[in-house]
Chains A and B, each alone.
Chain A
Amino acid sequence: MRLDPEFLSRLQFAWVIGWHILLPAFTVGLASFIALLEGVYALTRRPVFLNLSQFWLRIFAVSFGMGVVTGIVMPFQFGTNWSRFSDAAGNIVSPLLAYEGLTAFFLEATFLGVLLFGRKLVPPAMHFVAAVLVAVGTLSSSFWILATNSWMQTPAGYEVIDGRFFPKDWFAIVFNPSFPFRLAHTVSAFYVTTAFVVLGVGAYTVRRGQWLAEGRAMLRLALWFLAIFVPVQIVLGDLHGLNTLEHQPAKLAAMEGLWDGGRGVPASIIGWPDAAEQRNLAEIAIPRVGSLYLTHSWDGEVKGLKDFPADQRPPVAIVYFAFRIMVGIAVLMLLVVATGLVLMARGRLDGSRWYLRLCQFTVCLGFIAVIAGWTTTEVGRQPWTVYGLMRTADSVTPSLTGPDVLASLLLYIIVYLMIYPAGLAVMLRFVWRGPMPTGEAAPVESGRPKSPIEALRSEALRATGPETAT
């Protein structure tokens, strides 16, 4: 078998971005949550919020560190494996990436240091400002990286000279047609993902009964937040889909598994898209409903995959199933949140152990949905890097051989499979230890420096006083 450097490079990119995106999916929301907790604590001085902030800060530090190091990998991928894309599109995408670094990375890294290590070194107000700045940094990072990604999906504001892209209108480049929808849908997805983690950890904490006040606070904050944001996210997703219908019709046809376009198209519920036969096998579909939700009219016209040459269609099955996983999870999320609200209204939230247990399992829902959504939009963009203009096959580094990329891919796989479980284990241990400072971490072993995290724990102990810490 001949090793194809393009295919392997795509696998490698999918591997490193797939693992990396799990971290912003969590830290973007968590940074805002911590800023909120710090703010509420600054106003109310209630120790429960300080404990929660310290608790989540420990977990944030680990995930943020992992996000930094796996994030450094990303810009280098453009050079190592996609050098022709870099040469052709560098004039347009590079300032957006650079603005991400300038407006976000330094802000996050610097003020996280202050947040973690500086509670005693800076005034309380400055500590709160540091929390806000970290959160602003994560949002700014999302803004610029999604602007870059959106430009590759729906390019605008450019001209092509000798096969290379040149900027004509920077406003049009940044605020390209899919950007506002993608930004809203993605950031909202990150917030929902984080909220489900907080919900699950809150449920676990309540179920253990040891730190009831903290657990109850997490559970309720998360539920109220999700009660608003899960429906909002579904609406945003729908708007994003309609935007895709307008600007990337081939991708949308693949999401819908729609081979034959026309008026009054069916909605495919489930089936097996067969690219060779150009139809869905074993399909369950509802006639005409596709047109209804895509065009808001029973016989609205929608393009099908057959309206595009075979070499301009994305891999249909992957997009089709990834999209269904994402939508399926949205439905699950709604059910979980609705159930929680009913229990809360009846005052039985903390006592329903089956529900608390369920919430522990739903911690992973957001992450799966983010990966599925990302797969939908990125695989759906294929076979292009710049949609409709530059093919993925023409973007790959020409000097690379199959064995080169196979070697690098295997190394990335090995290293990521080592660090992710290790990082997860550490975070789970924090959850297991719970949101209150424990005696073990108190005025530490003499002669030995405290770990940054242990330093945090004893700070919390001091701030809350012994009566609440026992």
Chain B
Amino acid sequence: MMPALSLVPIWTTILALGVFFYVALDGFDLGVGMLYTFAPDRNARGLIMNSIAPIWDGNETWLVLGSVGLLAAFPLAFAIIIPAVYFPILLMLLALIFRGLAFELRYRNAEHRTFWDHGFAAGSALAAFAQGVVLGAFIHGFNVKGRQFAGGSLDCFTPFSILTGIALMFGYGLLGAGWLVIKTEAGLQDWARRLGRYCLVGTALAIGIVSLWTPLADAHIAARWFSTPNIFWLAPVPLITAALIWYEWRSLGDGSEYAPFLAALGLFVMSYLGIAISLWPMIVPGHFTLEQAAASQSTQAFLLIGTLVLLPVILLYTGWSYWVFRGKVRADIGYHG
């Protein structure tokens, strides 16, 4: 029985937005965490840490919403995908725990400072890598029987997923560098711009390889992109991506403060769009469409009512807190610049 009005497109949009918010927000603070390893001195480390201290746990909350949102809107996809990426998820969670604790313990445990410093950087890197592996495994598809994942727990580690893991580390690094350009000044900002360019090279290479690899490995994806007339409609995606890469390179070099971060976000939007175009309308690639994996109509409706009210409120006060903590982080007056 098909309902008169399907809520699936709305939920697809909300979930896609939720995951994107997570990727954008925790992406930059995981990226900042990785760049932290290369910070020139202790003073810089303190500034870098303070640039994300008041917002990181709010950012990570989007991960909870993403996972629970997937369970709520597409329970079947949740029940298949999450077991299939058992170990990357485990590594991500443990890395996030370590990293979160480092925020609290780094300052107060003078004798353990280096240990938690390393924990913060390594946790950020591992979490980013693990999320990339999840993404790669997701694009690659899973071994499914009936309504369950039927493969082994290590199947998700493939050359492709390792590549996407590394790719996401560079991508998050780029976002993090963009964030630090906004939040810091002078020498530290120059340092962030320099690292941002390294990350951009890695990101651009990774986008290129993934864009070639997926259509070569999957005839469906190749047909989606290269058949006429699709090729004309979809050509802007790679073109805009290329333009953004060029613009990102330039803005990291000139004095613009917000452009590097925004262009990096743009690159994430385009990559996200590219993946969505490749996989649409599957949520478990090769097995279940969004419509097939969706929760019951009543479930979707019950949650939608609250979400439509609460999500804008959340965005509003999250935006407000970013406004409260706007401006540069400065050393001499602590966080309260």
Contact = CB atoms under 8 A, between A and B. Distances in A.
B103 interface: yes
Interface string B75-112: 11011111110110110011011111101111111001
A137 to B, nearest CB: 11
B303 A449 contact: no
B83 A449 contact: no
B307 to A, nearest CB: 6
Given A105-B61, A120-B336, A404-B153, A415 B94 contact: yes
A105 B66 CA distance: 13
B97 A69 contact: yes
Nearest to B107: A451
A295 interface: no
Contact of A449 (B50, B89, B108, B318): B50
A109 to B, nearest CB: 4
Contacts of A412: 94
B54 A116 contact: yes
A91 B296 CA distance: 6
B43 A448 contact: yes
Given A97-B71, A400-B83, A408-B90, A79 B78 contact: yes
Contacts of A114: 54, 321, 324
B60 interface: yes
Interface stretch (B142-150, B226-234, B250-258): B142-150
Interface string A442-467: 00101111111111001000000000
A458 B68 CA distance: 40
Interface stretch (B212-220, B239-247, B325-333): B325-333
A105 B334 contact: no
Given A78-B71, A114-B324, A454-B107, A101 B65 contact: yes
B86, B105, B152: residue with the most chain A Cβ atoms closer than 10 Å = B86
Name B's interface SS.
Answer: helix
Nearest to B55: A113
Interface string B293-337: 001101100110011001100100110010011000101101110
Given A90-B75, A112-B57, A399-B151, A70 B82 contact: no
A367 to B, nearest CB: 19
Given A79-B83, A117-B54, A450-B334, A91 B295 contact: yes
A300 interface: no
Nearest to A454: B107
Interface string A273-289: 00000000000000000
A91 B331 contact: no
Interface string A161-173: 0000011101000
Contacts of B61: 68, 101, 105-106, 109
A73 B335 contact: no
Contact of A65 (B82, B104, B112, B306): B104
A334 interface: no
B104 A95 contact: no
A449 B329 contact: yes
Contact of B97 (A73, A79, A106, A167): A73
B12 to A, nearest CB: 15
A98 B78 contact: no
Interface in A106-145: 106-107, 109-114, 116-118, 120-122
Contacts of B132: none
Contact of A423 (B47, B67, B86, B104): B104
Contacts of B112: 422
B306 A113 contact: no
A75 to B, nearest CB: 5
Contacts of A118: 54, 324-325
A20 to B, nearest CB: 11
Contacts, number: 263
A328 interface: no
Interface string B101-137: 1011111110010000000000000000000000000
A75 B60 CA distance: 13
A72 B335 contact: no
B67 A79 contact: yes
Contact of A448 (B46, B93, B101): B46
Nearest to B44: A449
B24 interface: no
A55 to B, nearest CB: 14
Interface stretch (A29-37, A80-88, A305-313, A351-359): A80-88
A86 B75 contact: yes
A113 B58 contact: yes
Contacts of A423: 101, 104-105
A84, A106, A419, A447: residue with the most chain B Cβ atoms closer than 10 Å = A106
A92 interface: yes
Nearest to A396: B83
A408 B58 CA distance: 27
Given A68-B60, A87-B147, A110 B321 contact: yes
B34 interface: no
B53 interface: yes
Contacts of A431: none
B64 interface: yes
B298 to A, nearest CB: 5
Q: Which 9 A-B pairs have the closest CB atoms?
A: A79-B82, A90-B75, A451-B107, A69-B100, A450-B334, A94-B72, A113-B54, A449-B46, A87-B79
Interface of A: 61-62, 64-66, 68-73, 75-76, 78-81, 83-84, 86-87, 90-92, 94-95, 97-103, 105-107, 109-114, 116-118, 120-122, 166-168, 170, 397-401, 404, 407-408, 411-412, 415, 419, 422-423, 425-426, 429, 444, 446-455, 458
15 contacts: A65-B101, A69-B100, A70-B97, A86-B79, A87-B147, A94-B75, A97-B72, A100-B68, A113-B325, A114-B321, A167-B298, A408-B90, A415-B97, A415-B98, A449-B329
Given A78-B71, A415-B94, 19 more contacts: A68-B57, A72-B63, A75-B64, A78-B82, A83-B83, A84-B148, A86-B75, A91-B75, A91-B296, A95-B303, A100-B68, A106-B317, A121-B325, A167-B298, A411-B90, A426-B109, A449-B50, A452-B50, A453-B107
